[in-house]
Structure 1
């Protein structure tokens, strides 16, 4: 099958400083890959580069098509983005924020279609924020706002869903809901990439990309002992990975 992303020699410099150093990777479609690594490893930079939100050197192919061959509208329909700490329009209603995710599907200055409204309601029900659809975003808590932004990303209905720290401000029950939602997206054939600091949640993914100092040091399945060893290495052996109730968990190792 055509990979979701293929990168060869990917390099990114920000503010004159090299942040990503010649990354090569191939990410298959229909899987959930979590990006992990210590602070400053380049996780967000790599995710933004794959979303084509940053200038880069090297080659990037998305769904079999070179990055430069995508129009802005095509890319917006194919790649849905949830950024870290994104500001919201405080006066907009929650439903209007989610409707922004439908812009790539609408003609210029057109009104939302019935299909747009259905997609917005479906996404808001999936993230359990439909009940406050008429409330201004400025009146929502941090966790509520995050669920609205997640609904906006889902409303795009893109085959590729990229999320940077999607669990920010979510309490444990809603983190579990997010996990179920991601699994549902993958079951429908979508590809999910997420940057996560919560290593135990990341270990629920199909695969891990382990980064350190702007380099990809490991790409493997979450149940692979080599992946667990890579995690221990990049975190200076201050975490340990073990099985608990049939699931891998990452624990502090003092």
Structure 2
């Protein structure tokens, strides 16, 4: 793990939903300038943990963003520092794709202010990066699931935040666009950004810098994705029903 100050950290973090304890994390530190993949079986609390770190759910305990209590961040400053991409996010189907991506620039704009040239340039960069610029004038409701997901990813990238939290970002993306997403994440990390993503695609998660393995709302392992102990933890939380194999220098996950 990086020796630098963590991008996100938590102490005594607990989340209860419907009276049930869903997440119970005594201590957590996610390294800056790295890609951390959050993995675990269904119901492990992955999305709930990510939402708690993003300050999108009420939680007990403390969360720090770049060493500062997240509750002490002014709303706009926090939104500029940390971008969010959720799974199956609703959207106004009559909004043009370009307008949806432009929502990522709201933290940079004054109240009721018009988009600046810098905002427009950031949105174009993000939409070209996610290969959705060509349908910028199409309403969101006319897009396929995969096209819609790429527009939502462009919205998150347009924030140009130092920390990006993504919950199931590969939903509805075909294999080539999943590969594009991987290249985008690697470019972000190479530029010093921090990415934290919840992934069900374990083969893709194993390409992250770090794995955060959850089971029943608790972190059971955190470490480099290439470390044998990370692989052992991954097999254990899936009840040894998966096997990890290295093919052409990359790890793949197969049923066991």
- TM-score class, shorter: over 0.9
Question: What are the ranges of 5 or more consecutive residues in structure 1 without an aligned counterpart?
Answer: none
The secondary structure found in structure 2 opposite 1:161 is: strand
Partner of 1:203: 206
**Offset of 1:74 from its aligned partner?**
1.0
Number of residues of Structure 1 aligned to a counterpart in Structure 2: 253
The secondary structure found in structure 2 opposite 1:150 is: helix
Q: Are residue 186 (structure 1) and residue 195 (structure 2) matched? A: no
Question: What are the ranges of 5 or more consecutive residues in structure 2 without an aligned counterpart?
Answer: none
* Equivalent-residue separation in structure 2 for 1:177 and 1:22 (angstroms): 33
**Offset of 1:22 from its aligned partner?**
3.1
Match 1:65 to one of 55, 68, 86: 68
* Equivalent-residue separation in structure 2 for 1:88 and 1:55 (angstroms): 23
* Structure 1 residues 1-254: aligned runs within 5 Å: 1-253=4-256
**Offset of 1:213 from its aligned partner?**
0.3
**Offset of 1:198 from its aligned partner?**
0.4
**Cα shift readout 1:54-82 (whole Å, capped 9, x = no counterpart):** 11111211101012211111111111000
* Equivalent-residue separation in structure 2 for 1:2 and 1:67 (angstroms): 15
> TM-score, normalised to structure 2's length?
0.98
**Cα shift readout 1:173-224 (whole Å, capped 9, x = no counterpart):** 0000000000001011000000000000000100000000000000010000
**Offset of 1:23 from its aligned partner?**
3.6
Question: Greater CA deviation, 4-13 or 202-211?
Answer: 4-13
The secondary structure found in structure 2 opposite 1:177 is: helix
> TM-score, normalised to structure 1's length?
0.98
* Equivalent-residue separation in structure 2 for 1:42 and 1:6 (angstroms): 17
